[in-house]
Amino acid sequence: MTHPVSRTILLFDIEKYSGRDDVEQAYLRRMLYGIADRVLESAGIDETRRLRADRGDSVIELIDADASMIALLRALLAEAPVELRAVNRMASKSAQIRLRAVLATGYVAIDELDGWVGSDLNHACRLLDGAILRAALKERPDDFALCVSESVHHGIVQHDYPGIPKDDFHEMTVSSKNGPLRAWLHGPVPEVAAGAARPADAADAEEQPAAPSRPPAPSTPASVNFLGGSPSFGGSFVNGDQHGVSGGTVHGDVHLGGSSTPGQGERE
């Protein structure tokens, strides 16, 4: 494995790529490569100053550290949206392309299998896959959402260079299995869906006691049919012929409660 080298890390990812058919996916990949090439070339970064890794619905660019970060960030803010609009104007609805992007810096090594290794690269990938950046793209009418790492914000954004207004970037924290990652989103930070809560929050929710169950509703009493006589209620005395009082039929006068007074239909 080579020694880790300082690089600028740029990632692009296509929204809703897996829901397209094979023909549409092939088209979207061509469009992604073309957009990435034109944006980088507008920043003065040609193919000799970068390495590209293909990830199917995304690409990772490792850019020489001496390339201008200011020029690259300006190109991402100004040129990337223009390129996306130009492509989408000529595309059908099913072939529209929308992109999430992350710009970061860090040390990356290349192993003997040409794999890229580095915790800074891992962090950038987690920012790209984070729920906040996904939600930001979903909520916006344009086709591009960008966030930058803490190092890019500290070294470039906070100094308010022309074409990179610092007030347009807002702090956000992305949950990851290795802990929270701080970054800065271009544009407003969206409300993240409940399903994207931090793992700790989810665990806390699971530990909450279950709500007490409600007692069962009382069952409806069986009906009693009276055939003949005049029923009266108020005590515990039943007079007359009785056949299955619970849900059955009672013949004759029925007196419930108190003492009985012989009357019509009663036997002395």
Give CA–CA dist 254/93, Å, rounded: 79
Residues 6+ apart with CB under 8 A from 48: none
Task: Tell me which of 1-5, 105-109, 170-174 is least confident.
Answer: 1-5
- Average pLDDT, integer, range 225-249: 46
What pLDDT does residue 115 have? Answer: 84
Residues 6+ apart with CB under 8 A from 188: 136, 170
**Residue 157: which of 101, 103, 119 has the closest Cα?**
103
Residues 6+ apart with CB under 8 A from 25: 17, 57
pLDDT band at 94 (very low <50, low <70, confident <90, very high): confident
β-partners of residue 13 are 58, 100
The answer regarding whether domain 5-194 maps to CATH 3.30.70.1230 reads yes
β-partners of residue 54 are 59
What pLDDT does residue 245 have? Answer: 45
Q: What is the DSSP string of 2-42?
A: PPPEEEEEEEEEETT-TTS-HHHHHHHHHHHHHHHHHHHHH
**Residue 147: which of 163, 131, 128, 164 has the closest Cα?**
128
Task: Tell me which of 35-39, 106-110, 150-154, 215-219 is least confident.
Answer: 215-219
Asked whether the CA dihedral 156, 160, 166, 168 is positive or negative, the reply is negative
Report how far Cα 159 is from the mean position of its chain's Cα atoms.
32
pLDDT band at 243 (very low <50, low <70, confident <90, very high): very low
pTM, two decimal places: 0.70
Show me where the domains of the chain are located: 5-194, 221-268
- Name the average pLDDT for the chain: 79
Q: Is the pLDDT of residue 97 over 90?
A: yes
